[in-house]
Structure 1
Amino acid sequence: MNAAALTALVDRWRPETHTFHLRAGEMTPTLQDVSMILGLPIQGEPLCMNTASDGWRRQMEDLIGMAPPMREDPKERTPAGAPFLWIRTNFGTFPQGANRDTIKTYTRVYLWYMISRTLFADSGGKLAHWCWLKALTVLEHPWSWGTAALAYLYRQLDEACRRLGRDRWMVLCV
């Protein structure tokens, strides 16, 4: 990732209107942009689910047969998801002669890995949040992934602006 380019975009993001304020004027990423640029479907059911992390480890074991090991220090906060290294270590090599269920599991994990690294990346860049795996429980379901990606983009940009805690956007637009 180009940190300077991302910072420049965050500096020009206006959370109140979900627009970038550029020298040429305002620009708003739309669903049609997401569909054309990323090739994601914008038709279908909205991707709405409970993202509470209670019991995520057990649910992950139910979905893919295993979960990352628990932290040694029980007081240390455990993120609700799997490190990318853990995913690559445990699912990086597809077993020969796999049955249909194993194929589905590896497909689900691969998709989870890919969307967690590209569309729904966390701020640290090291973790696949478990809620995206949960969305892949039914691979054939017609979710509107484009809508989810655009909403996630808006939320991440809004949070980045709040974290920086600045109101200097007007200076950049002049």
Structure 2
Amino acid sequence: MSYLELAGFESATLIRKFDLRYNLISALVEHWRPETHTFHLPCEEYTVTLGDVASQLGLPINESAITGVSTIPEPAALCYSLLGVSLNDAESKCMSLRFSWLKANFEHLSINVTKQKVMCTAQAYIMHIIRGVLMSDANKNRVHLMYLLLLTNLQNVR
């Protein structure tokens, strides 16, 4: 938890699945105007801002955009250096990791775990939060390695 706090992700760990209120979603869809990216409600016009999202999720923002690289020359070397685990041959050329691979390698910690392994597990968990919860898509089964590059130094993640 201390590494998640260091990276500013402690509140994001509390995000759980929730039941969708389809009648509310339908009402919002009816009032959405794609040309202005706003909701036209009887009282005013509204839009969702980064500040709104940060407030609801409890994530710190400093108004800087987060960008990453799209290609990584040696994905296997990156994974080994930052996560301490080697990729299998099938995964070693990919630019992303399967969630099943992350789970298999980081789901359980032994009793005599090292500080380094705990930090690697925190980085793997943050990757899951980023792609599996905050920016999920229909596939929900892979996370790009660019996020791992952004987690190199957990003190600078914010």
TM over 0.5: yes
- C-alpha change, 1:23 and 1:67, in structure 2 (3 Å) is farther
Helix, strand or coil: the match of 1:50?
Answer: coil
2:137 is the counterpart of 1:118: no
Where in structure 1 are there 5+ consecutive unaligned residues?
73-77, 144-174
Q: Which amino acid in structure 2 is aligned with residue 132 of structure 1?
A: Y
- C-alpha change, 1:10 and 1:61, in structure 2 (3 Å) is farther
Helix, strand or coil: the match of 2:154?
Answer: coil
- CA-atom RMSD in angstroms: 3.1
Higher mean C-alpha deviation, range 42-51 or range 104-113:
42-51
Relative contact order (C-alpha < 8 Å, sep 6+): which is higher? 1
2:148 is the counterpart of 1:133: yes
- C-alpha change, 1:20 and 1:125, in structure 2 (3 Å) is farther
Higher mean C-alpha deviation, range 44-53 or range 24-33:
44-53
TM-score by length of 1: 0.61
User: C-alpha separation between the residues in 2 aligned to 1:126 and 1:142?
Assistant: 23
User: C-alpha separation between the residues in 1 aligned to 2:45 and 2:152?
Assistant: 39
Helix, strand or coil: the match of 2:69?
Answer: coil
For residue 82 of structure 2, the aligned residue among 53, 63, 79 is 63
Where in structure 2 are there 5+ consecutive unaligned residues?
1-16
Counterpart mapping for 1:87-166 below 5 A: 87-143=102-158
1:122 and 1:128 in contact (8 A); partners too: no
2:39 and 2:47 in contact (8 A); partners too: no
TM-score by length of 2: 0.67
> Hey, what does 1:49 align to over in structure 2?
68
- CA-CA distance at 1:64 after TM superposition: 0.6
Helix, strand or coil: the match of 1:97?
Answer: coil
Once the two structures are superposed, residues 55-108 of structure 1 have per-residue CA deviations (whole angstroms, 9 ceiling, x without a partner) of 223212221122542339xxxxx6521111111111110121112211211111
- C-alpha change, 1:67 and 1:45, in structure 2 (3 Å) is farther
> Hey, what does 1:152 align to over in structure 2?
none
User: C-alpha separation between the residues in 1 aligned to 2:157 and 2:64?
Assistant: 6
Q: How many aligned positions are there?
A: 134
User: C-alpha separation between the residues in 2 aligned to 1:67 and 1:20?
Assistant: 46
Once the two structures are superposed, residues 6-45 of structure 1 have per-residue CA deviations (whole angstroms, 9 ceiling, x without a partner) of x96789462x54x144554643211220121111111275
User: C-alpha separation between the residues in 2 aligned to 1:44 and 1:23?
Assistant: 28
Q: Which amino acid in structure 2 is aligned with residue 61 of structure 1?
A: Y
